Structure formats: C-alpha cells, structure tokens
Structure 1
Amino acid sequence: MIELQAVTFQQQEKMIFNHVTFAFPAHQLTLVTGDSGSGKSTLFRLIAGFAQLSYQGNILLNGENLATASMKQKAQAVGMVFQNPSQQFTMRTLRKELIFTLENIGLAPVDIQERMNHALALGETTDLADKAINQLSGGEKQRAALTVVLALDAPILLLDEPFASIDPESRVRFIQKLKQLRDQGKTILLSDHDWSGYHEVVDAVVEVTEGQLQFGSLDKLTVDTVFHLQQADTTPFFDFQKVQITRNQRLLVETTSQLQTGITTLTGANGGGKTSLLKAMVQLEKYHGNMFLQGKKIRKKRQLYQTMSLAVQDAAKQFVALTVQEELAFCNNQQPEILTQQQAALAYFNISKNQSLFHLSEGQKKIVQLISMLSLPLDFLLLDEPFAGLDQHACDYFVEWIQQQATQQDFLIVTHRLAPLSGVSQHHLVLAKQTLQVGEQQ
C-alpha cells in the first residue's frame, strides 16, 4: 500500500499538495488523472523519493517510511518511468544502462544476465539493447525506460505517461502486460491523459485536483474513439521525389508522393522513421532525393524557416529562452491579435509569463511550445507528438487553434493519439514498410 499522511508540498509560491491524507490500494492498477500541471508527476516523484523533494508529512510504502533510506533501498522498493524518458538514462546503450542499474542495486553478476534478458523480452526491446539511446525514437525511449524499471522488479511501479509516444498496437500489448504484473502482486500507479484501452484493466481511478486526491469513477474510461476524416477539397502542395532516408545503413523511408493542403495526420510504428521524415523536411536530417514546397525545391537556407518549421517532440529542446515571456517574444510575431491570443492561452492554462520554463511540468512545457509555434506566421507547420502530456481540455484548445490556422496554413501532425484529430484532419497517412501509404479510417 502507498499511504500519504498529511502531506504538504509547495513549489516556489505555488501550493501543489495541501495536507493530503490518502491511501492507494495495494496490488492494484490505479490510473491517476488530472489536468496538465495539476501535480501528477510531482506526486510520483514524492512517492519515489529519488529527487529529495522537501515536504511535510509522511509517505509510507508498504508500511515503511523511506524518506531517509538509501537510493539503493528506494530503487528496490519503487520503480519509476519518467514522463520524459530522455531524463532517465545515464549510459550510452540500453544494455549498458541495465547492467549499470542492476549492479547499483547489488545484484550478483551471475544473476544480471538472466534478469536483463527477461526484462528485454518483457519490454520488447531486445532489438534496441545495443543501439545508442540518443538515436532511438521517442516511443523506443519509453519502451527502453520501461525495460529498466521492469529489470528492477520492484514491488511498486510508478509510470508517468509511459505510453505517450508509443504506437497503438504496442500500447495495447503493454497495458495487458501491466495487467499481468498486477495479477502477480505488483502495485502500479499510472498517469495517462489518453484513457483508451484501460476500461477492462484498471482497478481504480484517482483524480488530482486543487491540491487534493480523490477516487474517481471508472465510468470515465470509455471505449476507444473511432477516428474519421473531415471531407474537404484539397490540392497538392508538397512533393517527395525519390526521397530516401537512412540511419546506420538501415533504410527508414523511401517515397515518391505528395502532401495535400489542409491538416494531415501521420501515424506509424515506433522507430519507423516518422520523426526522421519531419526532420528531413525541414533540412535537419540528411536524405537523398528532392523535396518541393509549392513547386520550389527545398534547400537548407534561413529563408526556409520563414515558410515552414517543426515543433519537436521534446518541448524543452525547442526552447531558446529562460522564461515563458521571453520564449513567446522570440517567435517575433508582435501583431496585436497574436499577442492577445498568447495572453488568453496563458490565462486559460494558468501559466504565468514570468515563470521559468524549466520549473514547468512536461505538459505545461508542451503548452508553451505550442503557443509559441502556432504564433509563427508560416505557410506550413510540422508537429511531432503535439498532444503528448496534454489533458483533454488542452487538446481541444489547441485543435481549435489549429483549425483556425488551417484556413491559411497547412499542417502535418505526427501522433499516436488520434482522438483529438478525429473529424478534424482531412488526410491520414501511415509510414509503413519504409513508405508513405494512405491510412484507413478506424
């Protein structure tokens, strides 16, 4: 059981948790929900105890207070997957990360190989074990982070948005694996803004709201949303001519095709090359062949970024300033209506313009990134997993903004979370078998 006793935590001047007393049931799979920035990630960090956050009250794990325990003791009691998996790794490859982790908890060398192989199989990452972690896709990094946690074999698992960048097929399999781990006696807390696939698996829902925790209704875990396209008259505007993208001598993409005006959703399996394709389109990754925007050959020139740009998957990697206000000013669009829209968005999400970007939650970072990128006066905007870490209200807000912009701007959106774009996107492409294919409505 995970028990909070009169826990109070304040970050800077903001009260995150106020005298919270609550118990999470043992040996159950609990879905933790709440708006972006409500404190879900902070709750997991407090329970895990890895970050040495200063709080009042007590947190008991199976009856023990681990506040003064060693990191080794904590790691043996709790395994945690961070919302941003890039923050989780120390070593160059997953295999080295697993060996390093298991050595640190004192596992005998003779047992490390067996534990590692079991975790790689369970996490479906055997093929990733010796690849450089910084070369993995976002979804592959999430699977790698989950593999490390599974190798620890801790009785309590804290999973913070573990499937945000994982393709739907893998997501279904991993949810079932969590069910199996629960049935084996694990206590699992999982946060996710996408509730699809949980309705037959989750034992309890806990809501984080206004600094408190409360049990929610399982009825909110509805069945999967059907993805359908909006019908519209469109014309080609972007051409791929004999484009090939390779990495480490492996062919990722090979296509001769066109993009149509409007909003296009791009899906595909993790590691299939979607992010590499987007980077190549904005000339940030090498490729063979030619690309044309409105009939003009694309070249790596400064003027290109006045026409098209890419919102990258990890919002923090996009930032060039320290505060929210400085970041939004950097977009260099000072039109009164844009400034008004930016201020309205910050007010809606309760984000101060003076806040440090690096004190924001991952969801709030994504919000600021999207405000900034959608403020740019571009013809074509590429968005890589824009809904990762966002609650439904935030998704609805930005989809409405995208729809407004789509009257004068084209979008290519890579996402595994299709529900926000259902009935909004005019086109669906799938990157499969190294080529772009027309996707089916679901």
Structure 2
Amino acid sequence: MATSNVHILVVDDDLSHCTIIQALMNGWGYQVSLAHNGLAAVEQAKETPFDLILTDVRMAELDGIEALKAIKAYNPAIPILIMTAYSNVESAVEAIKSGAYDYLTKPLDFDILQLTIERALEHTSLKTENKTLKQQLVANNQNMLGRSVPMRRLMEMIAMIAPSEATVLICGESGTGKELIARAVHANSLRKDWPLVSINCAALSESLLESELFGHEKGAFTGADKRREGRFMEAHQGTLFLDEIGEVSPLMQAKLLRAIQEREIQRVGSNQTLSVDVRLIAATNRDLLADVEAGRFRQDLYYRLNVVTVESPPLRARREDIPLLTMHFLEKFAERNHKSVRGFTPQAMDMLLKYHWPGNVRELENTVERSVILLTGDFISEKELPLSISQFANESPENQVGKPIEPLEWVEKNAILAALEKTGGNKTEAAKQLGITRKTLLAKLQKTT
C-alpha cells in the first residue's frame, strides 16, 4: 500500500513527543492522528479504521496495555506497536502476549521505528491479501494462491479455457500444483455441478488401471466379486482428471484413445458398449513430445490430449509468491498443531526467498509444517529450517553452479533488501552502499512492491 494512504494513530500523554513523531511520520509520507491518553485512543480506533497504532505504555488515563486489549477486542486485525522504557521491558512482554505486533524502547531509534512500521504494514497486507484470495477461491473449491506475473497469466488462462469443453493437458514439474489447476478448471466450468473424478495413472498396474478407468463385470478376474463402475462412469457429465498420464502403458494408451475418440467404454469382462460424457484433463511432469519422438507415447493420443496446454510454473519462477504462500501454510499448520506463531524472522524469510525449491510448492509446504512443529518461540528462524535451505543460502555463488539462475530483478531486489537490513532501514545510507541515488532506490522499491 502507498504510504500516503496509510493512517497511523500515535498515542502518548507526552505532547511534545507526540508532535515530534507526527512530524517525523508525516515526512515519511504517512497520515498521522494523535491521542493523548488510552481512553481517547480506544474511542478514535472505534471511529476511524487506522492502519497501525503506536502507543506508549505508561499513561495516566488507561495505560497502553489496557488500551491495546480494548482495541484488539474491537478490531483484532489492527497492528499495534508499543513504546516502553528500557527499565520496563516486562510490560512489553505482557503487551506481546496481549496481541501487540512488536515493542520499541525509548528513546526511540527513528530508523528502527520506520523499519518496524514498514514490516508491520507489510505483514498485515499479506494477511489481508491471503484472506481475500482465499475468500475469492473458496467458492470455486480450489486453493491457488499467487500474485506474481506467472500466476496471473495462469489464472487468466484458466478463466479463458474453463467454460469450454476442450481437453486440457497440464504440464509442469512435480509439486507445482497441477491438480489444483485441474480443480480450478472444473470449478469454473459448465460441468461444476457434476463430479470431478481424479486418478493417478502412475500408482496402478496396467490391469488395475484398466479396471479403475472402465470398471469390470462380476467374475472378470480373481477378486471381482461384483460389478464395479469405473472412473469414466463416475465422472459422467463431469470432469475426469488423469494425473501422470505419461506413465500409462502403450496398451492402455490405445484403449484411452478409443474412449476419447468414440466417447464409449467397455467394462473389463463385458462386450457391452457404454456411452460416456466427460471432459478430460490430463497432467504430466514428463516431456510428452520427446516421448512421442522416442516412440514411448502415442502421437495420436498426444494430440487428442493436447488441445489446450497449460504450463504450471515452478516456484523458482514465481518467488514473489513465496511470502504469501508461507503465510498461508503458516496459518494452516499453526491451527492444526494448536500453536501461536507470529511469522518468520527476516533472516529466515530471506533464506526461503534465496532457495531454489527443487520440490516446488509441495516442498515449501512441507518446510513450513516442519518449522511450525519444531518451533518453541513466536517467530520461525533459520534454526527451524531444514539444513539444506540454510546451507544453500550460505553457499558462495561459485558453489551453486548448475542451480537455477535467479531473474535479474530478483537479484536486484535481494540486494536492496540486504542493504536496507544492514543499514537498519535507512534508505539514504542503503542507496550510498548500493551506489545509486535515494530517488533511484525509492523508485526500485516501489517497482518491486
């Protein structure tokens, strides 16, 4: 969010201190209101939707802790920063337990104050965006999160192809969420009120796969003690999702081709032909065209499946989505494990952003779950991350030969973030260390947010 749209409430019974902070924050581009006691702060917070509140602890009328509790009871989402003296840190601990985002010790370090405000606002923005995206996607029975260019293009593609009847081939590395794409296509299609039936073709032998897809008659083979409908019939009028289609044997490829062409199937052990009406979505992590050229995959089946191709981007191509995804997984696993987790330390998040993620989103999800389980404090740090991630972040560039190269814009962004962290958020000093002007730095920050 632009700083000019951010409204902050500063609460302190020291009028001169309030005025100094107001002038400082106005210089940073924020809109600032003042309250000179806790009671006034609570009343103003009920009337005005502030983006952040900065309050002192010790005040004559309703101290900062009680004001914090009252405001949080009314609006739990608002981030509140507490100011306290060095000698009264126990009050800060109580404030954190009561829901404060962070505390700052007096006299204030203004560079740290600015950086803490920016982090609090970014944290709130991510949570809000996460919640909004989830609310938008719940109705469509899928859980795709992302604001990066590859994800925006993917969602635009889904919106275009979903209402059609075209067969869809989803290509991408393992762990990129190909099944989520299939669910999104189905949920936005004209068949959404009928079933979406999925089957992993790689998990079954040829004979079992045939029975699973087409069904079987009683007595068709040992153990077939009754007739069974196959996945094609289960998906009638809906969508059939064939995952790992590249692992299907040549014989099954031929039978699948006939079912797709004729829209007819036969149960195993039966001569009766059954008409089926399904939309097919297939997915693979293989290069099917290369398999066609090598004779491992039927060319006619390939072109039947490949009416519309959708590419599922790897996580390293959409690093911008990593903070959003980690917040989503953090909330999910914190709730599941009955833990209160506030987020990731800047160092841990930096490691997550630098890592090359060979296992893609699935690996990220497992990493967050592991970190939540191991966590004993409030923030996930590098100590809770797998050794492979922390070691990768500490490797020199020459030791990362052969690993995916980051886009130039990400190298630049990481350099800016590192300079800001090193200088405690001082943009003028960070610009000097980077060898650019402050104006250029601000323009690049605006471009990357």
Greater relative contact order structure (CA < 8 Å, 6+ sep)? 1
> What TM-score comes out, normalization by structure 1 length?
0.28
More strand by share: 1
If you compute each CA radius of gyration, which structure gives the higher value, 1 or 2? 2
More helix by share: 2
